[in-house]
A and B are shown apart, each in its own frame.
Chain A
Amino acid sequence: MSEAVQAAPLGGGPLSKEEPGPRTTRSGPARVALVGNPNTGKTALFNALTGSRQKVANYAGVTVERKEGFLTTPSGRSLSILDLPGTYSLRARSPDEAVTRDAVLGRLEGEAEPDAVVAVADATNLRLVLRLILELKAVGRPMVLALNMYDIAQRQGLRIDLEGLQRELGCPIVTTVATRKRGIAELTAKVDELIASGALSTENVWHEPSATEIRGAHREAQRILKAYVRPPEHPDTVTGRVDAVLLHPAAGLAILFALLFLMFQAVFTWAAPLMDGIDASFAWLGAFVGQVLPDGLIKDFIADGVIAGVGSVLVFLPQILILFFFIILLEDFGYMARAAFLMDKIMGGAGLHGRAFIPLLSSFACAIPGIMAARVIDQKRDRMTTILVAPLMTCSARIPVYTLIISAFIPNETVGPGLSLQGLVMFGLYAAGILSALAVSFVIRKVFWRGAVEPFLMELPTYKLPSYESVFRNLLLRAQIFLSRAGRIILPLMVAVWALSTFPGAPAGATQPAIDYSFAGMIGHAIQPVFAPIGFNWQMVVALIPGFAAREVAVAALGTVYAVGDAETNVGALGARLAEQWSLATGLSFLAWYIFAPQCAATLGVVKRETNSWGWTAVMFFYMVALAYLTSFIVYRVAVSMGGG
């Protein structure tokens, strides 16, 4: 019925220049790709089509998520639906958009070209999608246009001549309201019909458009709009009115900070009981295994290696879920782009993108959700810079270490009304983290990006009420991604750290704690000379090795090497012991080390996962070690020269 069908060449001809060969030789479900502008409800449509039959993976070699879902049409045909990243043009600018382009063109490694394309459009904003459709037509795959959010268009009194537009574009059009599952059956039927009719691709004549061609496409889109779409009688005024408040230069910033304060509070306080619960259940599980299994290596491995390792990964989950709950909600509502707008100038001074604000703020709770949240930044360089500096933000795992050292070395004095010296030092440590993050991002831009600042162009989407289902699904997806992927890297690292601190065991009649005789102990002794210039003794260096699993583990490890039992709950005793054993200069040097040192295997694992590069992970590791060493050296030397040695 559509022209796409009539225009198709006869009988199983080649599909395109890139991928010759008749389609019939491929087995499995027919492949349908969802393509559309950002903020068109494409993912809602994907959810409505496939329900829970979804599967998320990564595209080969890139960190872009590959979301595939399945459905069976009433006629019994099985379809595989690919939800491609939103884009304004096939002329890709970000890794996400490149995936969309390559998937549509059938250039993606390990992916066959789609049998049909569903172009998803926001019915209230057709101008943009028309240009994308013109590009998709050049690609030549059989296509259906889904005019989504059609209810809003109707409410606005927008009149679309569907018949005429269908004729003009040469592809069938279905109107949908994905969030209410309206038009889904019709869309499925249309896709089914298109595939059943054997509609074939026409020759792919797409190429990257030049500026002149983009202008031409604009004119063409303008002509089509004028001919088939009558402007809305009651255009949306809500977005304008909401923006008058939320983007107000002063009030907007105040609201943003209030929102962030709430988020920050939630991440810290709502997550705490859950995290305690997870900690407690894994401690119980470890103890239970300890009772059931006979003493020996297997018990140690299962209780201290595997169970403790899994626990140390899982314990991050509540914070990640709460944080992403807010992020997804704000993103779906359309606020995220506004937050980026408000913060852009402040972040931009240090060479960061406005959108870097949320990930960096999240990193005060934990760098892991922060680094994952950097996905909201679509420019690769800006995203990389954000990931690289995120661990400099003072995460909650540093707090136990800071508390221990401050209580041991900083006198509990007041230095002014309501100002304690200890509190001031704590504040200084936080400030040092923030300032160094800004400084490092400035340097990264100079060194790696040669001072270049990417253009900052961002759509401020129309405000929409988020749908519960999509928020819930997205949240589930985050949890799944964190557990399956990060876990695969973090867990082995945890087990490795356990092994290093366990083997070989203490000889019979040993007088020192067992960790002294382990590989961690040996490494600690061996590399202690390297740490001597910054005032670290060998006990400290040994504690740093298990402390690599997670920062707060260093407190327990110091307890082990100084043979203070139950150090985590008995901070006072350990603090007193450290105050006897370390000089003030050493204590301060240790604090300085903890501001910068990459003492967190989990963070490194997530950085590897998110950047998909050991190279960038190494860059982060080494710059942080270098900063930590340098700062500790200066702090130690200055303190010694002032009599603190």
Chain B
Amino acid sequence: MHELLAGQTVAVDAGLTRLSHARPGDRGVIADVRADHASGHGVDVHELERRLLEFGFVEGAAFEVLHQGLFGADPIAVKVDDMRVALRRRDAEDVWVRLGSK
């Protein structure tokens, strides 16, 4: 289903940005979760997508970036709905978010 959405069109949507680029204090809504960064995760892209979904990174969920690490601003701590989750920026690349002040 996501292949049909042809990554390009979504990326062009000016309102969307990757969660991996977000900074502490950024908040908004998760717009799209689709694993298309194939390499080096040790699991295939669909597995990464399912793991992200299981930790609450699902379309429509509210998020806020809370903290980041000292070195390379990595990993990040994100509040997703009512849960706090830590993840590396490389694993957050596949989460597209719409920033907003809410």
B13 within 8 A of A: no
Set A243, A250, A346, A457: member contacting B85, Cβ < 8 A: A457
CB neighbours (8 Å) of A222 from chain B are 60
B100 within 8 A of A: no
CB-based nearest B residue for A88: B54
Contact flags (1/0) for A213-249 with B, using CB distance below 8 Å? 0110010001000000000000000011001000111
CB-based nearest B residue for A240: B66
B87 within 8 A of A: yes
Beta-carbon contact of A93 and B51 below 8 Å? yes
- Nearest CB in chain A: distance from B68 CB, A: 7
Set A89, A125, A345: member contacting B74, Cβ < 8 A: A345
Beta-carbon contact of A453 and B41 below 8 Å? yes
A29 within 8 A of B: no
CB-based nearest A residue for B74: A345
Beta-carbon contact of B42 and A211 below 8 Å? no
C-alpha spacing A250/B73, complex, angstroms: 12
Contact flags (1/0) for A379-403 with B, using CB distance below 8 Å? 0010000000000000000000000
Beta-carbon contact of B77 and A345 below 8 Å? no
Beta-carbon contact of A455 and B53 below 8 Å? no
C-alpha spacing A459/B79, complex, angstroms: 10
A91 within 8 A of B: yes
Known interface pairs A89-B54, A212-B1, A214-B53. Does A459 touch B85 (Cβ–Cβ under 8 Å)?
Answer: yes
Known interface pairs A88-B55, A89-B54. Does A345 touch B75 (Cβ–Cβ under 8 Å)?
Answer: yes
Beta-carbon contact of B88 and A249 below 8 Å? no
Beta-carbon contact of B55 and A459 below 8 Å? yes
Beta-carbon contact of B49 and A341 below 8 Å? no
C-alpha spacing A348/B67, complex, angstroms: 18
- Nearest CB in chain A: distance from B78 CB, A: 9
The interface on chain B, measured as residues whose beta carbon lies within 8 A of the other chain's beta carbons, has a size of 39
Known interface pairs A458-B86, A460-B77. Does A128 touch B42 (Cβ–Cβ under 8 Å)?
Answer: no
Beta-carbon contact of B54 and A91 below 8 Å? yes
- Nearest CB in chain B: distance from A355 CB, A: 11
CB neighbours (8 Å) of A215 from chain B are 53, 58-59
Beta-carbon contact of A453 and B40 below 8 Å? yes
- Nearest CB in chain A: distance from B69 CB, A: 5
Q: Which of B46, B54, B67 has the most chain A CB atoms inside 10 A of its CB?
A: B54
Contact flags (1/0) for A109-129 with B, using CB distance below 8 Å? 000000000000000110110
A456 within 8 A of B: yes
Beta-carbon contact of A451 and B50 below 8 Å? no
CB-based nearest B residue for A210: B50
C-alpha spacing A222/B59, complex, angstroms: 12
Contact flags (1/0) for A505-538 with B, using CB distance below 8 Å? 0000000000000000000000000000000000
Known interface pairs A88-B54, A127-B81. Does A454 touch B86 (Cβ–Cβ under 8 Å)?
Answer: no
Beta-carbon contact of B41 and A454 below 8 Å? yes
A622 within 8 A of B: no
C-alpha spacing A131/B69, complex, angstroms: 30
A65 within 8 A of B: no
CB neighbours (8 Å) of A340 from chain B are 86
CB neighbours (8 Å) of A240 from chain B are 66
C-alpha spacing A210/B72, complex, angstroms: 34
C-alpha spacing A250/B72, complex, angstroms: 13
- Nearest CB in chain A: distance from B89 CB, A: 10
Beta-carbon contact of B85 and A456 below 8 Å? no
CB neighbours (8 Å) of B70 from chain A are 249-250, 253, 342, 345
C-alpha spacing A299/B42, complex, angstroms: 56
- Nearest CB in chain A: distance from B52 CB, A: 7
C-alpha spacing A243/B65, complex, angstroms: 13
Interface residues in A440-465 (C-beta closer than 8 Å to B): 449, 451-462
Set A127, A212, A344, A453: member contacting B82, Cβ < 8 A: A127
C-alpha spacing A381/B60, complex, angstroms: 33
CB-based nearest B residue for A459: B85
Contact flags (1/0) for A347-358 with B, using CB distance below 8 Å? 010000010000
CB-based nearest B residue for A348: B88
Beta-carbon contact of B46 and A211 below 8 Å? yes
Beta-carbon contact of A452 and B41 below 8 Å? yes
- Nearest CB in chain A: distance from B41 CB, A: 6
Beta-carbon contact of A243 and B43 below 8 Å? no
CB neighbours (8 Å) of A456 from chain B are 75, 86-88, 91
Interface residues in B2-27 (C-beta closer than 8 Å to A): none
Beta-carbon contact of B42 and A381 below 8 Å? yes
Beta-carbon contact of B42 and A214 below 8 Å? no
Beta-carbon contact of B55 and A344 below 8 Å? no
CB-based nearest B residue for A454: B42
Beta-carbon contact of A341 and B53 below 8 Å? no
Set A214, A218, A344: member contacting B75, Cβ < 8 A: A344
C-alpha spacing A483/B29, complex, angstroms: 51
C-alpha spacing A165/B72, complex, angstroms: 45
A493 within 8 A of B: no
- Nearest CB in chain B: distance from A303 CB, A: 52
Set A93, A239, A337, A346: member contacting B71, Cβ < 8 A: A346
Set B51, B56, B68, B84: member contacting A239, Cβ < 8 A: B84
Q: Which of A250, A451, A459, A462 has the most chain B CB atoms inside 10 A of its CB?
A: A459
C-alpha spacing A212/B59, complex, angstroms: 11
CB neighbours (8 Å) of A461 from chain B are 84
CB-based nearest A residue for B42: A452
CB-based nearest B residue for A247: B67
C-alpha spacing A93/B52, complex, angstroms: 13
C-alpha spacing A541/B42, complex, angstroms: 43
C-alpha spacing A128/B58, complex, angstroms: 12
Known interface pairs A93-B51, A458-B87. Does A127 touch B69 (Cβ–Cβ under 8 Å)?
Answer: no
B48 within 8 A of A: yes
C-alpha spacing A572/B65, complex, angstroms: 60
Set B46, B51, B71: member contacting A345, Cβ < 8 A: B71
CB neighbours (8 Å) of A209 from chain B are 50
- Nearest CB in chain B: distance from A245 CB, A: 11
26 contacts between A and B (CB under 8 A): A88-B55, A124-B82, A127-B82, A128-B56, A210-B50, A243-B66, A243-B77, A247-B66, A247-B77, A250-B70, A341-B75, A342-B69, A344-B69, A345-B70, A348-B88, A452-B42, A453-B40, A453-B41, A455-B48, A456-B86, A456-B88, A456-B91, A457-B51, A460-B77, A460-B84, A460-B86
In the A-B complex, list the 4 residue pairs whose CB atoms are closest, starting with the nearest. A452-B42, A460-B84, A249-B70, A247-B67
Give residues in B with beta carbon < 8 Å to A.
1, 40-43, 46, 48-56, 58-61, 66-72, 74-75, 77, 81-88, 90-91
- In addition to A243-B67, A346-B71, A457-B52, 16 A-B residue pairs with Cβ atoms within 8 Å of each other are A124-B82, A209-B50, A211-B50, A212-B1, A215-B53, A239-B84, A243-B77, A247-B67, A249-B67, A345-B70, A345-B74, A453-B41, A455-B88, A457-B85, A458-B86, A459-B83
